[in-house]
Amino acid sequence: MVAKELEIDTSTLVKKPKIKLQHTHEDLLRKKAIPTIYCPGCGIGTTINAFLEAITKYTIIPHNDIIVVSGIGCTGRASGYVNLDGFHALHGRAIPFASGVEIAKPKMKPVIISGDGDLFSIGLGHLAHAARRNIDMTVICVNNAIYGLTGGQDAPTTPVGAKTKTTPYGKISFPFNLSHIAIANGATFCARYTVYEFVQLAKAIGRGMTHQGFSFIEVISNCHVNFGRRNNLGDSIAMRKMFKEVRVPMKETDIGLDIHKTDIKFEVGKGFTRIPTGIFLNERDKPEEFSERIIDAYEFNK
């Protein structure tokens, strides 16, 4: 029993209202799979949110016609967190799986959400050939310049000089410009935004999904845990502030034929110093997308 003098007079306490935390796109999340594996503040969450915003506001594709496919990596978990048809493919194999879906069921819109390592290391050949064929799919590539899930090994996107688990004295070889590769191989829509530019990113995803053919959206994201920490770039907020300061908005007409104008710059001790962003390509005079050509060829040869 509590002594009289130690009893608390609860009548004077203000009751805190019970707040039910709600996500803007709660119905589109697979609640059983949440909490996610993501570190707090990771840009992959922002990217998934931008995708959900895009399919709610910026495209009229019915949700039943969308399938989310991903490969392996932190980003690769995305297909498991959204409440749509989805498939978590083997490492680097999201695009071949999505190609099969698109060819067998052209009405479906495959959206690949995967990482820079998954799509541009082991998966690079598949990406190049899907772009060359102009297969109707949208690839959202989270470029965090690192292999996040496996503890921070260097990726083909890691800038020269950057420290990673496997380049403790600084990376020596040159990074890929992912948008450049997508365009050079035949992508007919290409955009890049940082996770700081949420609205522009969501709109670009919507436009990419509405586009008939191979669309590529590169998302510059913060892996503050494995990339930021080793390169003294601070936490999630500090990295996003850096993205805000160094992004250079560009239009298709600014780039012309010199796609190197979209190169990302990084300086040891400073971090990223230039990140061109925008819609880099929206080819209107584009080749017919692949499944239409298959159907035409079939009808012609019947």
Q: Which residues bind ligand TPP (CB under 6 A)?
A: 72-75, 91, 115-118, 142, 144, 146-150, 155
- Give the torsion through C-alpha atoms of 102, 120, 176, 178, to 10 deg: 30
> Could you give the string, one character per residue 103-142, with x where binding to ligand SF4 holds by CB under 6 A and - elsewhere?
----------------------------------------
Sign of the C-alpha dihedral computed for residues 75, 222, 177 and 110 taken in this order: positive
Q: Which of 267, 247, 121, 268 is nearest to 191 (CA)?
A: 247
Q: Which of 28, 38, 208, 240 binds ligand SF4 (CB under 6 A)?
A: 38
Q: What is the smallest separation between the CB atom of 37 and ligand SF4, expressed in angstroms? A: 7
Query: Does 220 help bind ligand SF4 (rule: CB under 6 A)?
Result: no
Residue 150: CB minimum distance to ligand TPP, A: 5
Gap between the Cα atoms of 37 and 286, Å rounded: 39
| Interaction between residue 42 and ligand SF4 (CB under 6 A) | yes
Q: Which partner in ligand TPP, ligand SF4, Mg ion, none is near 225 (CB below 5 to 8 A by kind)?
A: ligand SF4
Tokens standing for 292? 């239409």
Of 93, 230, 239, the closest CA to residue 158 belongs to 230
239 lies in the site for ligand SF4, by CB under 6 A: no
Cβ-contact 78, 35 below 8 angstroms: no
Q: Which of 226, 231, 262, 291 lies at the binding interface for ligand SF4 (CB under 6 A)?
A: 226
Tokens representing residue 123 in the block: 């998966």
Nearer of residues 148 and 276 to Mg ion, judged by Cβ: 148
Q: Which stretch binds ligand SF4 (CB under 6 A): 131-139, 143-151, 175-183, 200-208?
A: 143-151
Q: Which is nearer to Mg ion, 86 or 117 (CB)?
A: 117
Residues 6+ apart with CB under 8 A from 257: none
Tokens of 60: 């009229």
Rounded to an integer, what distance in angstroms lies between the CA atom of residue 293 and that of residue 302? 14
DSSP state of 68: E
Please identify, using beta-carbon distances, which residue of 29 and 209 lies nearer to ligand SF4.
Answer: 29
Q: Which of helix, strand or coil describes residue 273?
A: strand
Packing angle, helices 290-301 and 94-104, rounded to 10: 40
Between 73 and 110, name the residue whose CB sits nearer to ligand TPP: 73
Q: How many residues bind ligand SF4 (CB under 6 A)?
A: 12
Choose between 78 and 112: whose C-beta lies nearer to ligand SF4: 78
| Interface contacts to ligand SF4, rule CB under 6 A | 38-39, 42, 44, 74, 144, 148-149, 223-226
